Amino acid sequence: MVFRVNVAFVILALAAGGVTLPVEPAKAQGLFERIFKPSPRYRQRDRQFQRNRKFQKQQAIEEARKVRISGPRYYAYKPDKMINASFSSLAEVDTASNDPSLVPAVVTTPFANASAHLSDFRVRTLVPVAGAVKSHYLAKPEFIWISDGKVNTKAREAMAVLAEAGKYGLSPSDYQVLLPASVPIADGDDPDKRLIEFEIQLSTKILTYVFDAKRGRIDPNRISGYHDFKRKTVDLDTVMSIVASTDGLVSYLESRSPDNVEFSALAVELAKLRSAGNEQRIEIAEGTFLKPGRPNPEVANIVAAIRLRGSEALKTKHGDTLANYEGGDAYSKDLVALVRDFQRESGLKPDGIVGKATIRAMTSDSAAVKIAKVELAMERLRWLPRELGDRHVFINQPAFKVTYMHKGKDPLSMRVVVGKKSNQTNFFMDKLETVEYNPYWGVPRSIIVNEMLPKLYEDPSYLDRLGYEVSTASGRQISSSSVDWFDVGANGAPINVRQRPGRRNALGELKILFPNKHAIYMHDTPAKSLFKKDRRAYSHGCVRLQDPRAMAAAVLDKSTDYIASRIAGGRNDADKVKADISVYVAYFTAWPTPEGTVEYFDDMYARDKYLTRALEKTSMSRNTNG
């Protein structure tokens, strides 16, 4: 440590003591330093102290950097509980007495006579299903599926619906029941045994089918913390009563699946894919990269792929180009125009450059992969309401697209940016509430801890310089440089940070709120260039809109001029969304356009993989004895 002393101060001090120094200030400073010069040993200790202090600070920074706020995680899926349900309580149904002195005599029924065989009969089924079946037959001990000792027409109709469950994306093996005649029976056993067991089995399978058709086979919240749905309830007692009494059983069972145009379009697509058999595919060499005006040996395969994958409208528009192409490597202007239109209808950047994304769209998935994606889409639709609503906003993350639907009006669609794989956007639904203009950006704690703290350790004034507001938990505004950021961390001092409205604000001109525990909303962004990219997973989880003014105008029933006037001047303000508009922050790798054409997308977050595993575990649990 080197002493530097204000010379004027020394002279004044000496003068106060009656000492006069007739020397120049520079000489006085030199004289002072010779008198008070630290020893070499002291200087060495001081340098060591400074090195230790620097090391301790760096070590503290490294330790603090290890503290992070992590996002949700994926779970090892646990299927709904299956039991080997006993129906012995039904075996206690009274039968008629042979004693004529008993008045009134107990009325015998075929069901009552056969029910004695249920004393040791068990069915592997879901807990709620077993309860509803037992409750029904205890209250009404009558056959539903047997008439005159034979399987009746109603039972055969029910079995036909269960056998065709695959057309609605379900697994027929989950609902399979053997006819009594095909069940082996030991010598001397009463044929009624097979009839009563068939009766109970078919009832349990039908209730399982209704359960699955209405709410899905999977509880999405058990897949990962990125899913957020309240699982639907199904009144199985009422279902059992309807099944027993209705004459329109087929239409009733088939109507249990979602009742919306999207589900219908997926069902049509599934049937088409299955009937097509082995679909023709065009292979384009891996690594192909084609720019306008440059020849390439893969041009012929590219044209063939468009002939196979392009829409009829596209092929009609470019009919002359397709008819006149005779092969060859030349990538002419006409072919560039053809590729651009193909890219445009595939939701890609129409630049005429054939790279990975365009090749993926041209070669497409195999029929088997498409079938799997459609089936997963039908399962996910069961988690949502049966009808999505006359007015709703649908954000499909794998498509990087949002569509606003208003019955009777043309859809409004635009590109979006969604969360990075490390900051995935959740899958949930909510209601639109507010459009906020010139918003503040309240920085999430995860961003403060994971991204800002490393900078703040080195430079505590970092946020002050960038124009952020820093405040305590009580709301008292403080400077960034006054905070001990080492004390903040994941669970430390509650410091709030927000960015003021302005051109550099991360939320841009406006945000559209649907308050939820995930702190996800739609908003503008100053980073407009990202919308030009085909894959747009760059946010921390929120949804950035390509045309936020148009979306705000649509949900508020206002003009874009009105929205512009609310933004003008830079004042932070808001409008309530008065209409009842649901918003679905969804994840579908197969999804129909408003015109009904099903499009396919990459499984960007690997959620198809996790859902497939959950379905496999569910199927294994249901079809395993014991």
Tokens 């002291």 appear where? Answer: 42
Which of 25-34, 322-331, 396-405, 434-443 shows the lowest mean pLDDT across its residues?
A: 25-34
- Using the predicted structure, report yes or no on whether residue 10 has a pLDDT greater than 70: no
pLDDT at 85: 94
Rounded to whole angstroms, the Cα distance separating 128 from 132 reads 6
Handedness of CA 529, 401, 413, 572 (dihedral sign): negative
Q: Percent of the chain scored above 90 by pLDDT?
A: 62
The alpha helices in 164-260, defined as continuous H runs, are 192-215, 236-245, 249-254
pLDDT at 96: 46
CATH homologous superfamily of 388-440+501-588: L,D-transpeptidase catalytic domain-like (2.40.440.10)
- Using the predicted structure, report yes or no on whether residue 303 has a pLDDT greater than 90: yes
Q: Which residues contact 12 (CB under 8 A, 6 or more apart)?
A: none
Q: Which helix (H) or strand (E) holds 134?
A: helix 127-139
Mean pLDDT of the region 413-438: 96
310: left (phi over 0), alpha (psi -120 to 50) or beta: beta
pLDDT at 1: 45
- Using the predicted structure, report yes or no on whether residue 221 has a pLDDT greater than 50: yes
- Using the predicted structure, report yes or no on whether residue 460 has a pLDDT greater than 60: yes
- As a 3-state breakdown, the chain gives helix, strand, coil percent values, each rounded to 5, of 45, 15, 40
Res. 348 pLDDT band, cuts 50 70 90? confident
Q: Are 544 and 537 in contact (CB under 8 A)?
A: no
For 227-260, how does the pLDDT look when each residue is reduced to its tens digit (9 = 90+)? 999 999 999 999 999 999 999 999 999 999 998 9
Q: What secondary structure, in 3-state letters, does 60-110 show?
A: HHHHHHCCCCCCCCECCCCCCCEEEEECHHHHHCCCCCCCCCCCCCCCCCH
- Burial (CB < 10 A; 0-12, 13-18, 19+), residue 311, is middle
For 59-83, how does the pLDDT look when each residue is reduced to its tens digit (9 = 90+)? 666 665 566 677 889 999 999 999 9
Provide the total of helices (H) and of strands (E) in the chain, helices listed first: 22, 21
Tokens 């090195």 appear where? Answer: 51
Mean pLDDT of the region 97-106: 52
The alpha helices in 568-626, defined as continuous H runs, are 607-622
One-letter amino acid for residue 254 of the chain:
E
Tokens 């609310």 appear where? Answer: 566
Centre a 10 Å sphere on the Cβ of residue 502 and count the other Cβ atoms it contains. 12
CA distances from 221 to 125, 321, 502 (A): 22, 51, 38
Q: Which residue has the higher pLDDT, 308 or 430?
A: 430
Handedness of CA 84, 89, 95, 97 (dihedral sign): positive
- Using the predicted structure, report yes or no on whether residue 293 has a pLDDT greater than 90: no
**22 prior amide bond cis, ω within 30:** no
For the chain, give every domain's residue range.
7-65, 82-257, 282-363, 388-440+501-588, 442-500
For 266-275, how does the pLDDT look when each residue is reduced to its tens digit (9 = 90+)? 999 999 999 8
* Fold (CATH) for 282-363: Muramoyl-pentapeptide Carboxypeptidase; domain 1 (1.10.101)
pLDDT at 471: 92
Which of 302-311, 543-552, 554-563, 602-611 shows the lowest mean pLDDT across its residues?
A: 302-311
Q: Are 458 and 435 in contact (CB under 8 A)?
A: no
For 20-38, how does the pLDDT look when each residue is reduced to its tens digit (9 = 90+)? 555 566 666 665 556 666 6
Same fold yes or no, 282-363 and 388-440+501-588: no
Closest CA to 121 of 174, 207, 197: 197
Q: Which residue has the higher pLDDT, 327 or 615?
A: 615
For 574-625, how does the pLDDT look when each residue is reduced to its tens digit (9 = 90+)? 999 999 999 999 999 999 998 889 999 999 999 999 999 999 999 999 988 7
Q: Which residues contact 491 (CB under 8 A, 6 or more apart)?
A: none
Average pLDDT taken over every residue of the chain: 87
- Using the predicted structure, report yes or no on whether residue 2 has a pLDDT greater than 90: no
Mean pLDDT of the region 536-549: 96
Rounded to whole angstroms, the Cα distance separating 526 from 538 reads 13
Res. 175 pLDDT band, cuts 50 70 90? very high
